[in-house]
């Protein structure tokens, strides 16, 4: 097999990380400074030309980045874990959701979108680039270069925990034809308060959710397994309450106790469902029962955002605690 030729190192300026900065943000800042007109030129600058960064010979896009930057941004593993949305997904990875982040699933452009968390096409709903106006103002007076915080991009995080302020989606949206879109934060583009954060009561709930999401990633980094711990607590509660069959399945919701717990989840579901990442969870008793049942059985398929939502329910309603 013909080995891919090593990419030449990139010429010119290479920025260093800001605290908690995402990979997307660093590349977007470099794009802004460079004066290049097309985002794709900056992508080529960091990752090599499209034909060079093919995934032949087991080489990934991140290998290309490493060759181009000569390792100046740190090891691949560290960049993926600390600077990309993979950090959010890691606590879910030992389940079937692993397939969602398997590199083989993606073609060239999609593969790049994943580590970068680019908000184009179908990624727009999952990763609506979010920023805090107070952070941007602060960056202007400190470094002079506002940047995107990775933590703000996690699904479920709609509050800046440093400033206790809502996060805004950027309105600097990509043209449908753009494969890549690199923007830096700008207060003028962070102008429309998401509807679900306007009400102070709902804002408090979203703050709790942001704290919960961040604590999960932090605990996971510390070697704990918070998602599995919460699920086990729920299983123990369900088992001891007689909700579980002999084959470890949730009984039907006509069983009065199962009906009661399913109704609790049904009532909880609207709490966060006007955030786009949870918008698909429509509350009916049948659907609530189905979610609770799949959550109980660790082998069932739940998307990370659904799993997060169920764990938040168990935590916030103190089920089995």
Tell me: does residue 163 bind Zn ion (CB under 5 A): yes
Q: Give min distance, CB of 146 to Zn ion, in A.
A: 11
Given the complex with Zn ion, which of 85 and 132 has the nearer CB atom? 132
SS (H, E, C) the chain: CCCCCCCCCCCCCCCCCCCCECHHHHHHHHHHHHCCCCHHHHHHHHHCCCCCCCCHHHCCHHHHHHHHHCCCCCCHHHHHHHHCCHHHHHHHCCCHHHHHHCHHHCCHHHHHHHHHCCCCCCHHHHCCCEECHHHHHHHHHHCCCCCCEHHHHCCCCCEECCCCEECEECCCCCCCCCCCCCCCCCHHHCCCCCHHHCCHHHHHHHHHHHHHHHHHHHHHHCCCCHHHHHHHHHHHHHHHCCCECCCCCECCCCCHHHHHHHHHHHHHHHHCCCCHHHCCCCCCHHHHHHHHHHHHCCCCCCCHHHHHHHHHHHHHCCCCC
- According to CB under 5 A, which residues from 119 to 158 bind Zn ion? 132, 134-135
Given the complex with Zn ion, which of 128 and 226 has the nearer CB atom? 128
Q: Please select the residue that binds Zn ion; options are 90, 162, 255, 294, rule is CB under 5 A.
A: 162
Residues touching Zn ion, count (CB under 5 A): 6
Given the complex with Zn ion, which of 59 and 152 has the nearer CB atom? 152
Q: Give min distance, CB of 130 to Zn ion, in A.
A: 11
Q: Please select the residue that binds Zn ion; options are 66, 160, 197, 243, rule is CB under 5 A.
A: 160
Given the complex with Zn ion, which of 162 and 294 has the nearer CB atom? 162
Tell me: does residue 90 bind Zn ion (CB under 5 A): no
Given the complex with Zn ion, which of 136 and 227 has the nearer CB atom? 136
Q: Give min distance, CB of 185 to Zn ion, in A.
A: 10
Binding positions for Zn ion, rule: CB under 5 A? 132, 134-135, 160, 162-163
């Amino acid at each position: 097999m013909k080995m891919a030729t090593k990419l030449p190192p990139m010429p010119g300026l290479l920025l260093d990380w800001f605290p908690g900065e995402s990979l997307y943000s660093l590349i977007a800042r470099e794009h802004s400074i460079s004066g290049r007109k097309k985002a794709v030129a900056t992508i080529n600058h960091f990752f090599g030309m499209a034909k060079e960064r093919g995934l032949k010979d087991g080489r990934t896009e991140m290998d290309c980045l490493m060759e181009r930057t000569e390792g100046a941004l740190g090891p691949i593993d560290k960049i993926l874990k600390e600077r990309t949305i993979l950090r959010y997904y890691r606590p879910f990875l030992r389940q079937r959701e692993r397939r969602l982040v398997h590199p083989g699933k993606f073609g060239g452009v999609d593969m790049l979108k994943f580590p970068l968390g680019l908000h184009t096409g179908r990624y727009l709903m999952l990763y609506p680039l979010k920023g805090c106006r107070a952070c941007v103002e602060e960056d202007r007076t400190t470094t002079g270069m506002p940047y995107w915080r990775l933590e703000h991009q996690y699904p479920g995080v709609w509050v800046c925990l440093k400033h206790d302020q809502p996060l805004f989606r950027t309105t600097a949206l990509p043209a449908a034809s753009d494969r890549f879109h690199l923007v830096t934060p700008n207060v003028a583009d962070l102008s429309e308060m998401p509807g679900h954060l306007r009400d102070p009561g709902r804002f408090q709930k979203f703050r709790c959710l942001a704290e919960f999401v961040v604590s999960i990633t932090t605990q996971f980094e510390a070697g704990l397994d918070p998602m599995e711990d919460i699920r086990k607590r729920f299983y123990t509660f369900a088992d001891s309450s007689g909700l579980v069959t002999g084959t470890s399945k949730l009984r039907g919701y006509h069983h009065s106790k199962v009906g009661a717990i399913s109704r609790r989840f049904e009532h909880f579901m609207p709490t966060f469902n006007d955030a786009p990442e949870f918008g698909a969870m429509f509350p009916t008793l049948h659907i609530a029962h189905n979610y609770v049942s799949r959550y109980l059985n660790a082998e069932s398929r739940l998307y990370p955002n659904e799993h997060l939502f169920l764990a938040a329910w168990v935590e916030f309603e103190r089920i089995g605690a």
